């Protein structure tokens, strides 16, 4: 209970970079990593969007945090964000690929642009950040990469062919990267959240939310912290013998 207030030191001396850290799940991940002792680099498409997360981390009175702007689907911006991280802290130990977006619609009428936007924001971004961070991690001979997928990447979902494909792609990418990087002492795992209360899901009609709640074994929608707590576990030595895994964190939605 006490570590909910002051945090633990399990991530002390670690530098963590979190994409999509301006709100929702990414914000909770950044705050929990900071609460557990990490120096956190928070990233979003604009610095202004990161002020709320910055204030929360500063309120913990622990390690400093760094703000970086990057459109996650643009290689040069991703490389700049990683370079600023290394210039400031000299290392990157934990990468959380969390940024994501949706453009839902039936595939027969899905604009090509909606396919491209979702695939590049959700999947190409994971390749770009992993590539940029794996180089310093290889030099350090240690590292930990956590990719935020979705249960939809396991089950598919009508109206989300683009999103589901991107999230399934993250799972295949995670397993491939885990195999490639294990000999360098870099672990790569994924989390597949179920239905979490964030801006991404807030527009779903109340009756649909009720329907989803009825399908969740634990009987409630998820909170961003439910995902962040599992990220802390995967980022810590408590999971040191795990790589290439997909942890489903959905309250028992997909059983």
Residues that bind ligand NAP (CB under 6 A): 20-26, 44-46, 49, 71-73, 98-101, 121, 148, 150, 193, 195-196, 198-201
CB 118 within 8 A of CB 163: yes
Provide the minimum distance between the beta carbon of 125 and ligand NAP in the complex, in angstroms, as a whole number.
Answer: 7
Q: How far is the CB of 184 from ligand NAP (least distance, A)?
A: 26
Which residue, 73 or 236, has its beta carbon nearer to ligand NAP?
Answer: 73
CB of 234 to ligand NAP, least distance (A): 14
**Shortest distance, position 30 Cβ to ligand NAP, whole Å:** 10
For residue 221 the two structure tokens come to 């929608």
d(CA 246, CA 235): 14
Tokens of 213: 């709640």
Question: HEC string of 159-220?
Answer: CCHHHHHHHHHHHHHHHHHHHHHHHHCEEEEEEEECCECCHHHHCCCHHHHHHHHHHCCCCC
Nearer to ligand NAP, 134 or 198 (CB): 198
Quick one: 20 or 37, whose CB is closer to ligand NAP?
20
User: Quick one: 75 or 138, whose CB is closer to ligand NAP?
Assistant: 75
Q: Are 79 and 134 in contact (CB under 8 A)?
A: no
Q: How many CB atoms lie under 10 A from the CB of residue 252?
A: 12
Q: Which two tokens stand for residue 120?
A: 């590049």
**Active-site annotation, residues:** 163
Which of 57, 26, 20, 21 shows the shortest CA–CA distance to 39?
Answer: 57
């Amino acid at each position: 209970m006490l570590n909910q207030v002051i945090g633990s030191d399990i991530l002390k001396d670690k530098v963590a970079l979190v994409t999509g850290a301006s709100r929702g799940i990414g914000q909770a991940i950044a705050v929990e990593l900071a609460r557990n002792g990490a120096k956190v680099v928070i990233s979003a498409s604009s610095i202004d969007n990161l002020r709320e997360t910055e204030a929360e981390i500063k309120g913990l009175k622990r390690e400093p945090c760094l703000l970086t702007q990057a459109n996650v689907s643009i290689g040069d911006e991703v490389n700049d964000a990683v370079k600023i991280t290394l210039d400031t802290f000299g290392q990157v130990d934990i990468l959380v690929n969390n940024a994501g977006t949706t453009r839902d619609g039936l595939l027969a009428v899905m604009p090509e642009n909606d396919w491209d936007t979702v695939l590049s924001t959700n999947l190409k971004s994971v390749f770009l950040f992993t590539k940029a961070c794996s180089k310093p991690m290889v030099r350090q001979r240690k590292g930990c990469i956590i990719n935020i997928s979705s249960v939809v990447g396991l089950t598919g979902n009508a109206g989300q062919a683009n999103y589901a494909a991107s999230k399934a792609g993250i799972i295949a990418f995670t397993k491939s990267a885990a195999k490639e990087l294990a000999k360098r002492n870099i672990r790569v795992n994924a989390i597949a959240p179920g239905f979490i209360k964030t801006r991404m899901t807030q527009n779903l009609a109340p009756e649909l939310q009720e329907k989803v709640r009825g399908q969740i074994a634990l009987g409630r929608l998820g909170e961003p912290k439910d995902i962040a707590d599992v990220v802390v576990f995967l980022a810590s030595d408590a999971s040191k013998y795990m790589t290439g895994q997909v942890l489903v964190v959905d309250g028992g939605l997909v059983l």
